[in-house]
A = this chain, B = another copy of it.
Amino acid sequence: MSMKVGIIGYGNLGRGVELAVNVAPDMDLKVVFTRRDPSSLTIASKDVPVANISEAESWKDKLDVVILCGGSATDLPLQTPEFAKFFNVVDSFDTHARIPEHFANVDAAAKEGGNVAVISVGWDPGLFSLARIYSNAVLPQGKDYTFWGRGVSQGHSDAIRRIAGVKNAKQYTVPVQKALDAVRSGADPDLSTRDKHERECYVVLEEGADPAGIEEEIKTMPNYFADYNTTVHFIDEEEFARDHQGMAHGGFVIRSGKTGAEKEHNELIEFQLKLDSNPEFTGSVLASYARAAVRLNKEGKSGCMTAFDIAPAYLSRLSGEELRAHLL
C-alpha cells in the first residue's frame, strides 16, 4: 500500500517535494498545507486538496508522513517539533550551528508522539554529511574539504539588494579551481576563506545610482564579501531576467587521507554534486527520507534521527534481495 504523504509549505522546495513524491510509485500525495488562504493556492497536482496549516492536526490519522518545506530561520524551529507530535516528519533544517538544539526539541516531541522525525536532510546537510561521515570513518587520518558552488547564495543576494541604489541582485558562490586542484593532488593545503571560494555578483542598479560606490560597498561588506575575491557585474533588467533565474547549485566534499606505516600513501575520497535545480534535488532527498521515516516507525522506532542514524536500504523502494543483486 502506498505511503500517504503531506507537504507543509508550497514554495520552491515544496514544489520540488511534490514532483519527487509524484514519481515515487510507493507514495501518494494526499494534502498540501499552507499558511495562506487555501483557495488562493493552485498546486501542480490537480486532484490533491490544499488545506490551511491550522487544520493539520485533524489529518493525524490520514497521513503516514509529513514533509516540512519551510525555512530554517523561523519556520522549522517551531514547525518540526510541533508536527512531530502528530506525524512522522522530515525536514531540511540547515542552520548547522543550531542543529544540536533543533535535534533536542524535535526528539522530545517525536518521542512524545511515538513518531519518527528525520531532520537536516537535503544535500548539505544531508548527502554531503554522509560523504563526510563515511570518509572520516574510513580514513581517520586525513583532512576534510567542502566546496560549494557554482550556485546562488540567497543570503548574499539579499545582502546586496539591501544596498541603497540596488534594484536587483544575484550572487554566485564559485569554488576556486586552483584550490580544488591542490586538494586533489593530496598536498593537504591549508586554505583560507579567500583561497576556497570567489563571489560573483550580478547587479541591476536603480536609475541614477553610483556604480563605483556600490561596487565598493559590496566588496568591503564585512562577513559577506570582505574576506573573498569578489567581482561585480552591472547588468540591465532584461539580462537579469534572461540569465539569472536559474536554481543550479552543487559542490564538492573531499577527504584527503593517509594510510601506511609511515602515512606514505594518499587516499582521496571525493563526492560531487552538479545540480540544475537545487530545490528539486533537495525535494528528492526529502522524499527518500520520508520513505525511511515511515518504515522505521513501522518497526517501532520513534524520536529524532539524522542521515547518520538511518541505514541506506531504508531509502530505497527495492527489497534487500534486489539491492544486493543489482546495486551492491
Of residues 133 through 176 on chain A, the ones whose CB sits less than 8 Å from some CB of chain B are 133-134, 136-141
Across the interface, A100 reaches (CB within 8 A) one of B99, B138, B186, B324, namely B324
A137 touches B312 (CB 8 A): yes
A137 touches B281 (CB 8 A): no
| Minimal Cβ-Cβ distance residue in B for A94 | B328
Question: What residues on B are CB-neighbors of A288 within 8 Å?
Answer: 137-138
In the bound complex, CA of A272 to CA of B44 (Å) = 37
A140 touches B24 (CB 8 A): yes
In the bound complex, CA of A180 to CA of B289 (Å) = 30
B132 touches A100 (CB 8 A): no
B315 touches A134 (CB 8 A): yes
> In angstroms, how far is the closest chain B Cβ from the Cβ of A5?
15
- When A184-B274, A280-B267, A320-B308 are in contact, do A19 and B313 touch as well, CB less than 8 Å? no
> In angstroms, how far is the closest chain B Cβ from the Cβ of A242?
17
Of residues 107 through 152 on chain A, the ones whose CB sits less than 8 Å from some CB of chain B are 120, 125, 127, 129-134, 136-141
Question: What residues on B are CB-neighbors of A272 within 8 Å?
Answer: 268-272
Q: Is A235 an interface residue (CB 8 A)?
A: no
Across the interface, A284 reaches (CB within 8 A) one of B96, B138, B315, namely B138
A138 touches B133 (CB 8 A): no
- In the complex, per-residue mask of A259-283: 1 if CB is within 8 Å of any chain B CB, else 0: 1110011111111111111001101
B270 touches A276 (CB 8 A): no
B99 touches A325 (CB 8 A): yes
Question: What residues on B are CB-neighbors of A243 within 8 Å?
Answer: none
A313 touches B276 (CB 8 A): no
In the bound complex, CA of A120 to CA of B136 (Å) = 20
A308 touches B325 (CB 8 A): no
A20 touches B259 (CB 8 A): yes
B307 touches A312 (CB 8 A): yes
Question: What residues on B are CB-neighbors of A24 within 8 Å?
Answer: 140
Question: What residues on B are CB-neighbors of A277 within 8 Å?
Answer: 259-260, 265, 267
In the bound complex, CA of A317 to CA of B131 (Å) = 16
Size of chain A's interface in residues, with CB distance under 8 A? Answer: 70
A120 touches B308 (CB 8 A): no
In the bound complex, CA of A272 to CA of B180 (Å) = 14
A-B contact pairs, 20 of them (CB 8 A): A19-B259, A44-B261, A96-B328, A134-B312, A134-B315, A137-B312, A137-B315, A259-B281, A259-B284, A260-B277, A264-B276, A266-B276, A267-B281, A269-B273, A271-B271, A272-B272, A306-B328, A307-B312, A308-B320, A311-B311
> In angstroms, how far is the closest chain B Cβ from the Cβ of A34?
20
Given A127-B138, A134-B315, A271-B271; 17 other pairs, CB 8 A cutoff: A19-B260, A23-B141, A96-B328, A100-B321, A100-B324, A127-B134, A133-B313, A133-B316, A134-B312, A137-B317, A138-B284, A250-B268, A270-B272, A306-B323, A308-B320, A308-B327, A308-B328
